[in-house]
Amino acid sequence: MRSDGESDTRPGGRPLVEFCDLGVTYPGGIAAVSGFHLSVSAGEFVVILGPSGCGKSTVLQVVAGLLKPTSGQVVVAGEINPPPGKDRGFVFQHAGLLPWFDIFTNIEIGLRAKGMSRKAARAVSQRYVSAMGLEGFGRLYPHQLSGGMQQRVGVARAFAIDPPILLMDEPFAALDAQTRLLLQEELIRLWEGSGKTIIFVTHSIEEAVFLADRVVVMARAPGSVKASVDITLARPRGEETRSDPQYLELFNTLWGMIRRDAQRAISETDLKEGP
Amino acid sequence: MQRLLRTSATFALLLLAWELVARLFFPVYILPPPSLVARTLVSLIVDGTLWQNLQVSLMRVFAGYFTAVVLAIPLGVAAGWWKLIDHTVGSTLELLRPLPALALIPLAIVWLGFGELSKIALIAYASFFSIYLNTRAGVQNVDPLHVKVMLVYGNGTRDVLTKVVMYSILPYVFTGLRYSAAVALILLVAVELVGSQSGLGFFLVQAQSFLQMPNMFAAIVVFGVLGFCANLLVAGLEKRVIRWRPENRP
């Protein structure tokens, strides 16, 4: 375990995504992120963990190219502050499916943007519909699917463009607890052995420990890296991982780190929402 | 089913009351009974008078309404999407909007004459605003998440417009279309009452000047049916076009 808070790379891995002194200040002068350093190696599963309002989603949007940093930079595969591109897939918190397109067409959004023909794109989306256990749902509209099914489509859409980097913004946060566990297991199965680099944002400690190679804990106001914890749990992971004694130990370590920040976040929301 | 029964019973009762009141207390040139109105309507259909006038009216209202749709939807999208257009063209339209279209009838006649052009132009003008404004509001209410999804997967502005905006504005556009259909009908009646030698409205004025009350009532009924059908048509089209469940409606 390291808690140096500085940019660090896994030994042996070459950095694929590198944040250098990243700062994002929103109009109005509120600094969401400041002095954020992080280096993510190729093939690494990094989870950014932090209480609500710590700027973790902001960081992800910068990597996606949806947001320009106000200071510092992010380097993705050698490119500084790249615009959105097909080398990065993105999974949104609320699936973000287009309600007027059926499931197939939703999965094909990235493929078609890459210039793939309708026919070739359909072949790929059919493959992912099967892989995600969505057989028979391809021609349905999103509103006909449960939240869990919708997010499976969101994940399928990201994997379908076969990007080296996947960005996931609290993808399971809006789901019920059981669906959430199942989708975590499905994601880890899809990812293990795929060689993809994942940056996954969450406020759930269990989720972070279960999924990550490394958990990056964020401090809030403004957001910066507070600590970096290696998750040495054995892979492949599955439901038995959750009963590993080390799992609980890691949970407690991380909880100890963010407890105070979380408490502060609660009292601030209380003030904001109070009478 | 129960509702249908109660409603139709009420209507039957109302008609019966009208029939009785008309027969017992009023001469035909004040209040004709519904049975006479119905008979008049049938004979107007049979001798072709109705269709002759209706044809002219339908042509006018369709031409005007269609012109409004063709102008209002693209302009609404443009004003909703590009601030520059909203601040220039949009503001100008905003300036014209409070003007009651009926006040423009004399002007339109002076400028465009007593022919079809002035009538179609007035119907188009009045129908334009609701479609335009609703379309514009639809664009402004596009879910930013949907735009983000498109951008993050490498789509450009064109794809955002054709795959997100075009769809998410539809519930708004249809609200505008439905409202404008009613407005178009009002304008149709107005322009045909004021300066017209043909059409259902002209037939209505003629009936008035000769005190042919059954003809007048028949024309009013036809206008009512027209309004009903217009609404049905737009609603039917909406159901065919919007097959998903829209997340937000105006």
C-alpha span between A257 and A207 (Å, rounded) = 16
Closest by Cβ to B164, choosing from A89, A98, A157: A98
Most confident among A26-40, B128-142, B235-249 (mean pLDDT): B128-142
A143 contacts B245? CB cut-off 8 A = yes
Bigger pLDDT: A115 vs B122: B122
pLDDT for the residue A6: 43
In the predicted structure, residue A203 carries a pLDDT above the cut 50: yes
Burial status of residue B221 (CB atoms within 10 A of its CB: 0-12, 13-18, 19 or more): middle
Q: Cβ separation of A113 and B159 shorter than 8 Å?
A: yes
According to the model, what pLDDT value does residue A18 have? 87
Banded pLDDT at B1 (limits 50, 70, 90): confident
Of B150, B168, B243, the CB nearest to A109: B150
Nearest to A73 by CA among A11, A144, A128, A22: A22
What would the mean pLDDT of B37-41 be, rounded to a whole number? 96
Q: How confident is the model at residue B245 (pLDDT cuts 50, 70, 90)?
A: confident
Say if the Cβ atoms of A109 and B163 lie within 8 Å.
yes
User: Among the listed ranges A3-17, A138-152, A154-168, which one has the minimum average pLDDT value?
Assistant: A3-17
Nearest CA in chain A to B144: A96
What pLDDT score was predicted for residue B82? 95
Residue A225 has which token pair?
């890296």
State how far the Cα of A69 lies from the Cα of A21, in Å rounded to an integer: 10
Work out the average pLDDT over A77-103.
Answer: 91
Q: Where are the domains of chain A?
A: 1-87+164-275, 93-162
pLDDT band per the 50, 70, 90 thresholds, residue A5:
very low
Specify the CATH number of the domain A1-87+164-275.
3.40.50.300
Mean pLDDT score across all residues of chain B: 94
Q: Does position A2 have pLDDT exceeding 50, yes or no?
A: no
Render pLDDT for A34-57 as a digit per residue (tens, 0 to 9).
888 899 998 899 999 987 777 888
The CA distance from A69 to A34, in Å, is: 10
In chain B, what percentage of residues exceed pLDDT 90? 91
Q: How confident is the model at residue A230 (pLDDT cuts 50, 70, 90)?
A: confident
User: CA–CA separation, A53 vs A221, rounded Å?
Assistant: 8
B225-243 residue pLDDT tens: 999 999 999 999 999 999 8
The bridge status of strand A30-41 relative to strand A45-49 is unpaired
Confidence at A14, pLDDT banded by 50, 70, 90: confident
DSSP string, A198-265: EEEEES-HHHHHHH-SEEEEEETTTBEEEEEEE----SS--GGGGG-HHHHHHHHHHHHHHHHHHHHH
pLDDT tens digits for A171-180? 999 899 999 9
Task: Identify the band that residue B40 occupies on the pLDDT scale cut at 50, 70 and 90.
Answer: very high
Confidence of residue B47 (pLDDT cuts 50, 70, 90): very high
Q: In the Cβ-directed half-sphere of B222, how many Cα atoms lie within 13 Å?
A: 26
Query: Does residue A261 carry a pLDDT above 90?
Result: no
Question: Could you count the other beta carbons within 10 Å of the beta carbon of residue B45?
Answer: 14
pLDDT of residue A263: 78
**pTM of the predicted protein model:** 0.85
Average pLDDT of chain A is 86
| Residue B89's pLDDT band (cuts 50, 70, 90) | very high
Cβ within 8 Å of residue B126, ≥6 positions away = B68, B101, B183, B184, B186, B187
Q: Yes or no: say if B149 and A96 are a contact pair by the CB < 8 Å rule.
A: yes
- B-chain residues near A84 (CB < 8 A): 151-154
Question: pLDDT by residue (tens digit) across A184-198?
Answer: 999 998 898 888 999
CA–CA distance, B243 with B14 (Å, rounded to integer): 39
Residue A221: pLDDT over 90:
no
Instruction: Measure Cα distances from B219 to B188, B223, B224, B231 in Å.
Output: 13, 6, 9, 19
Distance CA B68, CA B70 (A): 6
Chain A positions contacting chain B at CB under 8 Å are: 64-66, 84-86, 88-90, 92, 94, 96-101, 109-110, 113-114, 141-143, 157, 161
Token couple for A211: 């999924």
Nearest to B244 among A94, A113, A143 (CB): A143
> What pLDDT does residue B108 have?
93
Highest mean pLDDT (candidates A87-101, A114-128, B60-74, B98-112): B60-74
Question: Which residues of chain A lie closer than 8 angstroms to B248, CB-CB?
Answer: none
> How would you list the strands of the sheet with A71-76, edge to edge?
A30-41, A15-26, A71-76, A79-80
Report the SS3 class of residue B30: coil
CATH number 1.10.3720.10 given to B33-241: yes
Between A and B, how many residue pairs show a Cβ–Cβ distance under 8 A?
62
pLDDT average, residue stretch A154-160:
93
Range A216-220 average pLDDT: 85
Of B154, B243, B246, the CB nearest to A85: B154
Min Cα–Cα distance to chain A from B82, Å: 20
Q: Are strands A30-41 and A15-26 parallel, antiparallel or unpaired?
A: antiparallel
CA distance A141 to B34: 49
Q: Which residue has 């049938």 as its token pair?
A: B42
Distance, CA of A12 to CA of A6 (rounded, Å): 18
Mutation pick from B148, B149, B153 vs chain A, by most beta carbons of A within 10 Å, is B153
Instruction: Answer whether B149 sits within 8 Å of A99, measured CB to CB.
Output: no
Q: Which two tokens stand for residue B141?
A: 């209410």
| Among candidates B148, B154, B244 on the partner chain, residue whose Cβ is nearest the Cβ of A100 | B244
Q: Please compute the mean of the pLDDT values over residues A79-100 and round it to a whole number.
A: 91
For chain A, what percent of residues have pLDDT higher than 70? Answer: 93
Instruction: Look at residue A135 and tell me whether its pLDDT is greater than 60.
Output: yes
Average pLDDT, integer, range B12-23: 96
